[in-house]
Structure 1
Amino acid sequence: MTYAEFDASLTQHTPPAGLSPLLLALWHTGRDEWAEAHDIAQDHEGEPAYDWLHALLHRQEGDTTNAAYWYRRAGRPAFDGSTRHEWQTLVKSQLKEQTK
């Protein structure tokens, strides 16, 4: 799946079939379904990509202290850019991982 296809799928009522749990969480994030995405992130605490997603989610809600905690857990610096750009970066990295 390409990034353009993933982004276009956000207008659908159901996610595309075959998404990894992280891409499913990102799909919910892209649809502003914060609680659904957060539940998935919490189910995978300790996995760096999910901890990065967790940071993004708390950044979206304006909780920068909690976001900083999750960036540290993910082993990443705080993202320097908009939350939309961070979401795009995370989606593209996971789509790339999925095709390996």
Structure 2
Amino acid sequence: MKTLTEFQQSLSLTQPPSGLSVQLKSLWYDGKGDWAKAHAEVDQLSDKDSAWVHAYLHRKEGDIWNADYWYSRAGQTRPDVSLQEEWEQLVEAFL
């Protein structure tokens, strides 16, 4: 899988495609509307990429303080874009 469009099309599947990174798997579950599974994928990870996805998920949840903590851990700042735009940016960053 190489493009955002291909990733978005995979959301019609019942399971995430094999070979996805943990970050993409988390974003896949989020794209399917399963925040809890998305969060579970990255919750216990401490690397910067996972922290970035974790930050997005907490922003989506509305927990801005927690999101900002995770953005900081990721070396990022909270973006001033819609959640959909951030999701797309994250997918593209990890593809």
**TM-score, reference length from structure 2:** 0.93
CA distance in 1, matches of 2:66, 2:33: 19
> C-alpha offsets along residues 45-99 of structure 1, whole Å, 9 cap, x if unaligned?
2x1111011110011111111111111111111111011100100000100xxxx
Structure 2: give runs of 5+ residues left out of the alignment: none
SS at match of 1:60: helix
Alignment correspondent of 1:68: 68
1:28 aligned partner, one-letter code? Y
> Residues 1-100 of structure 1 correspond to what in structure 2 (within 5 A)?
1=1, 2-45=3-46, 47-95=47-95
Runs of 4+ in structure 1 off by over 2 angstroms are: none
CA distance in 2, matches of 1:29, 1:4: 16
Q: CA RMSD in A?
A: 0.9
Aligned length: 94
Structure 1: give runs of 5+ residues left out of the alignment: 96-100
Q: Percent identity?
A: 46
Alignment correspondent of 1:98: none
| Bigger shift: residues 86-95 or 11-20 | 11-20
Residue 43 of structure 1 and its aligned partner are, at CA, apart by 2.6
